[in-house]
Amino acid sequence: MSGTTVDPRLSSRAAPRRQHRLSWSDPLVRNIVWQVLIIGAVIGVLWYLIGNTNRNLEARRIATGFAFLGRTAGIPIGEHLIDYDPAISTYGDALVVGILNTLKVALAGVVLATILGTLVGIGRLSRNWLVAKATAIYVEALRDLPLLLQLLFWYGLLQSLPAPRQAITLGEAMFLSNRGIKVPLLDWQPAHWWALAAFLLGLVGTWAWNRTSHRRQEQTGVRPPVWPVAVGLLIGFPALIWAALGAPFTLEYPVLRGFNFQGGGTISPEYGALLIGLTTYTSSFIAEIVRSGILAVPNGQSEAAAALGLRQGTILRLVVLPQALRVIIPPMTSQYLNLTKNSSLAVAIGYQDLVSVASTTLNQTGQAIEGIALIMAVYLTISLAISLFMNWYNARIALVER
């Protein structure tokens, strides 16, 4: 009806805009004022600290800056993954060697601790009484002992091994002594670099084919097999490149000459003790994370899989662990970060990592601020890289609500 009167209270209208006043009673004004004051206070403190530090350094005639990185280091480093000569190499080269040594122990420790921790965590849930109790003792003993004490124990144990002349023979070409473990070493040639590049390309190709296979399964319900393509790209393609370039394969064996072994590769006691200590200590925490993650999966999942006739190993691998990863990954990230940062304890057993090399550098150059800043920057970069990767992987496996 045209004459119907509409109640103005029921008509839709925009909410009135709130008027802000320049008054302390206005929450927006208070928030802006407090934020400006806090930011100003932080800037003021930093300005004072930097100015005070510069004045003290000038008063003591201490040089500043990073020009020292171009000077000849003269620091002897026993283990290095790149060419290093203390008579020629600079402090910058020495720090790069220290960074690579840190990464070498951190990456190997993360992989080994993950494998060992997963096995121990599964073992704690075993129905076998002996396995369950043995893994429980392993976890409780290693978690409750300080890491530094464990590193000193492993280092002392490796140092107590017999001398090279009385070395323990492992197989035909491996020797264990107080100088470390001597192993055969592959004579690396350009063909091996090309084969490695082919393997990396194969990884990319396998990943791309796996995604394509997954999309086809969603569209047609039939999943093309992935493993034949993976075998061809990861094994066949690198082997073909290696064979086409002459298939070089020469091993350099360690030989006892005088009081020590010559040739071959060496796993030093310092590196071995650090790797064993970090791996066993971190794996005890990872084991508890894995155990709690498995227990977080509802029992109905395992019971349903068992009702279908699946074996326990298959149920654990295909049903339980994929769901448990959503609980395991976040705390596992913290353990990876802890392992990387705990590698700085290497200085206690003589392994020349980043902290050890940087400490020697700042003692020789007197530029402690720059040296400590470099250590902090490297560890921050490594930690952020680990966090970004683990967060990306955690987002990939997270449940997506529809």
Q: Distance (Å, rounded) from C-alpha 272 to C-alpha 280? A: 12
Q: Count CB atoms within 10 A of the CB of residue 306.
A: 14
Pick the closest to residue 333 from 377, 289, 367, 399 (CA basis).
289
Residues 6 or more apart whose CB falls under 8 angstroms from that of 350 comprise 155, 270, 356
Residue 92, pLDDT above cutoff 60: yes
Let me know how long the chain is.
Answer: 402
Residues 230 and 350 in one domain: no
Question: Amino acid letter at 293?
Answer: G
Q: Distance (Å, rounded) from C-alpha 64 to C-alpha 275? A: 36
Give domain status of residue 255, yes or no. no
Among all chains, which residue has been given the structure tokens 């040594």?
Answer: 101
CA 16 from centre of chain: 54
Instruction: Give the DSSP H/E element, type plus range, for residue 174.
Output: strand 174-177
Is residue 4 very low, low, confident or very high in pLDDT (cuts 50, 70, 90)? low
Please tell me the predicted confidence (pLDDT) of residue 1.
47
Q: CB–CB of 228/209 below 8 Å? A: no
Is residue 400 very low, low, confident or very high in pLDDT (cuts 50, 70, 90)? low
In the predicted model, what is the mean pLDDT of the chain? 87
Average pLDDT (188-199) is: 90
Residues 123 and 207 in one domain: no
List the domain range (segments joined by +) for residue 127: 91-159+269-397
Give domain status of residue 187, yes or no. no
CA atoms lying within 13 Å on the CB side of residue 37: 6
What are the pLDDT digits (tens) for 116-175? Answer: 999 999 999 988 999 999 999 999 999 999 999 999 999 999 999 888 888 888 877 888
Give domain status of residue 31, yes or no. no
Residues 312 and 197 in one domain: no
Residues 227 and 329 in one domain: no
Is residue 25 very low, low, confident or very high in pLDDT (cuts 50, 70, 90)? confident
Average pLDDT (230-255) is: 89
Residue 105, pLDDT above cutoff 60: yes
Residue 26, pLDDT above cutoff 80: no
What are the pLDDT digits (tens) for 339-395? Answer: 999 999 999 998 999 999 999 998 888 888 888 989 999 999 999 999 999 998 888
Please tell me the predicted confidence (pLDDT) of residue 35.
93
Please tell me the predicted confidence (pLDDT) of residue 19.
64
Give domain status of residue 44, yes or no. no
Residues 109 and 228 in one domain: no
Q: By percentage, how much of the chain surpasses pLDDT 70?
A: 93
Q: What CATH number corresponds to the domain at position 98?
A: 1.10.3720.10
Residues 143 and 282 in one domain: yes
Please tell me the predicted confidence (pLDDT) of residue 399.
63
| Interior angle at CA 311, CA 310 and CA 316, nearest 5 | 95
Please tell me the predicted confidence (pLDDT) of residue 127.
87
What global pTM score does this model have?
A: 0.81
Q: CB–CB of 175/261 below 8 Å? A: yes
Average pLDDT (42-51) is: 90
Give domain status of residue 217, yes or no. yes
Q: Distance (Å, rounded) from C-alpha 229 to C-alpha 212? A: 12
Q: By percentage, how much of the chain surpasses pLDDT 90?
A: 44
Please tell me the predicted confidence (pLDDT) of residue 302.
83
Residue 218, pLDDT above cutoff 50: yes
Question: Amino acid letter at 149?
Answer: L
Residues 383 and 284 in one domain: yes
Is residue 333 very low, low, confident or very high in pLDDT (cuts 50, 70, 90)? very high
Q: Distance (Å, rounded) from C-alpha 139 to C-alpha 117? A: 9
Q: Distance (Å, rounded) from C-alpha 35 to C-alpha 218? A: 51
Average pLDDT (66-90) is: 87
Q: In 3-state terms, what secondary structure has residue 266?
A: strand
Please tell me the predicted confidence (pLDDT) of residue 118.
93
